[in-house]
Amino acid sequence: MFLTYLRRELAGRRRQTLIVAIGMALAIALVMIVNALSGGVRDAQASVLESVYGVGTDITVTQAPTGPGEGGPGGGRFEFGAEDGETDDAEGSTTVSDSRLTTGMGTATFDDTALDTALSTEGVADAAAALSLSNTTFSGELPDFSQLQGGGGAPGEAGAEAPPTGGADGAGGSAFDVDSFTVLGIDPAASALGPLSSAAVTEGRGLEAADAGADVALLDSAYATTAELAVGDTIDVGGTTMEIVGLVTADTADASTGANVYLPLDTAQALAGLEGQVSTVYVQAASSTDITAVQASLEEALPEATVNTQEDLASSVSGSLSSASTLVSSLGLWLSVAVLAAAFLIAVLFTVSGVTRRTREFGTLKAIGWSNRRVVGQVAGESLVQGLIGGALGIVIGLVGIGAITLIQPTLSGSAGSVQAFGGGEAPAAAAEAADRMGLTGDGGPFAAATTTSDIVLTAPVTVSVVLVAVGLAVLGGLVAGAIGGWRASRLRPAEALRSVA
């Protein structure tokens, strides 16, 4: 009887059923799409972060860089070694070529005992350390500065009118190239954690435990192509020639790995004069539920360090991916809430108006012995089924919308600070964004070391949770409308209900 009555009622007032179902369907479809997009953006962010931090890193430990003037290795001043150049007296020029390996801007190093501290912290499954560096090679011609200084003087003074000579153009000018690439010193024995865990060796071999202290290097395949280098070639890092033993490519399509060149950690430390120093410790928690506790323990054990979780790091992803993330999380969320609230309101209003319209019907049912519970159950059942029809329709519309997004394949650009840029909290993220805005991402310029840019195809994954959310909302919408409508029906006194008709 319940089902027959329910079916006949819903079929008998098709227009109302359809309006409520469509309202509910649109709201649920929107929630599904926003939810799926949110998942896609999360995946994209994780993908960008993986290219920097590797797979499995839950927490990174870095140290905030010291401010200007506070010293520390690799400060902001760049010495290109003009005094070491060869001077050609005949031409009045100095030819210089110098390669320096230093910590990048915004990067600080700290004692590698932090790795042992991390490994001994409760809840830590694994940890690995890395040293992030920047190699800058300066080569070119400079004017003979001593000549310039000797002939210099204020305008109008004797000798001040002698034109400068020497240099690349013979008139006191300079011509030089600055070649910069990022270098990451990694533990050659620990490939399961850290930046290379999300990369694959596509040519040659990877670093092995036996490579510790050896002058060997791995190159990011994209960088190798740009620099026209191949396995078996050599590369000058900090004035030392390294043999290229392999090329690595990020697992994620269109993403580059976290650095251009990878060296054994101790080799990198020795070349940079930073023995016993690291810039990042990658930590993997034993359980995803322990991450917050492990973060707190690490912050306590390493009070000087900056301890970030993946969630903290996600906020440092910039570019159009960041815009998409903001759009989905703010506009998408609120739009979903607003549409959902409107759909629920429509369902409630229609249900209440239906109860009012059916006052005589419910009064009659009560008069012939139907209990309040049975009448409320009937109203709630009708609303619930209406909600479920809306839910089913919403899932179809939502899947079509998600399918359309998958078909369009929007590409987003995500920039994440590399290992050098992270660790300083807000400032490096800002630096990364600034670099992105300035178009300095990639391999050129001083900010190059601070960002890794990836083009990510945005997906909208349909997960069980997305479908469950849709079904849950449909049930909730039906129950809310049914509960309010049922409450109204339960308050009808049979005598009054019948009298209102008389």
Name the site residues for other proteins (rule: CB under 8 A).
1, 4-5, 8-9, 11-12, 360-361, 363-372, 374, 493-495, 498-499, 501-502
Whole-number Å distance between alpha carbons of 71 and 193: 31
Structure tokens belonging to residue 136: 């800058």
Comparing CB distances to other proteins, the nearer of 437 and 499 is 499
Q: Is the dihedral of CA 93, 98, 103, 104 positive or negative?
A: positive
Q: Transcribe 84-132 into DSSP letters.
A: GSEEETTTTEEEEEEEEEEPPTT---EETHHHHHHHTSTTEEEEEEEEE
Pairing of strands 166-167, 171-173: parallel
Whole-number Å distance between alpha carbons of 322 and 316: 9
CB of 354 to other proteins, least distance (A): 12
Comparing CB distances to other proteins, the nearer of 371 and 411 is 371
Comparing CB distances to other proteins, the nearer of 4 and 149 is 4
DSSP 318: B
Check if the beta carbon of residue 195 is closer than 8 Å to that of residue 257.
yes
- Of the candidates 214, 186, 226, 218, the residue with the CA atom closest to the CA atom of residue 201: 218
DSSP 371: -
Comparing CB distances to other proteins, the nearer of 209 and 501 is 501
CB of 350 to other proteins, least distance (A): 16
> Which residues, in sequence order, are CB contacts of 422 under 8 Å at separation 6+?
52, 60, 62, 280, 308, 313, 316, 428, 429
Q: Is the dihedral of CA 443, 254, 408, 41 positive or negative?
A: negative
CB of 378 to other proteins, least distance (A): 10
Comparing CB distances to other proteins, the nearer of 5 and 78 is 5
CB of 492 to other proteins, least distance (A): 11
CB of 361 to other proteins, least distance (A): 6
Whole-number Å distance between alpha carbons of 502 and 497: 9
Check if the beta carbon of residue 401 is closer than 8 Å to that of residue 34.
no
Angle at 246 between CA 129 and CA 283, to 5 degrees: 20
Comparing CB distances to other proteins, the nearer of 115 and 375 is 375
CB of 38 to other proteins, least distance (A): 42
Check if the beta carbon of residue 404 is closer than 8 Å to that of residue 372.
no
CB of 17 to other proteins, least distance (A): 12
Comparing CB distances to other proteins, the nearer of 68 and 369 is 369
CB of 2 to other proteins, least distance (A): 8
Comparing CB distances to other proteins, the nearer of 17 and 147 is 17
Check if the beta carbon of residue 315 is closer than 8 Å to that of residue 429.
yes
Instruction: Compute the half-sphere exposure of residue 199: CA atoms within 13 Å on the CB side of its CA.
Output: 35
180-214 in b/e form (b: 16+ CB < 10 A) is bbbbbbbbbebbebbbbbbbebebbebbeeebeeb
Comparing CB distances to other proteins, the nearer of 29 and 365 is 365
Comparing CB distances to other proteins, the nearer of 1 and 158 is 1
CB of 358 to other proteins, least distance (A): 9
CB of 3 to other proteins, least distance (A): 11
Pairing of strands 93-102, 234-237: unpaired
CB of 23 to other proteins, least distance (A): 22
Comparing CB distances to other proteins, the nearer of 366 and 488 is 366
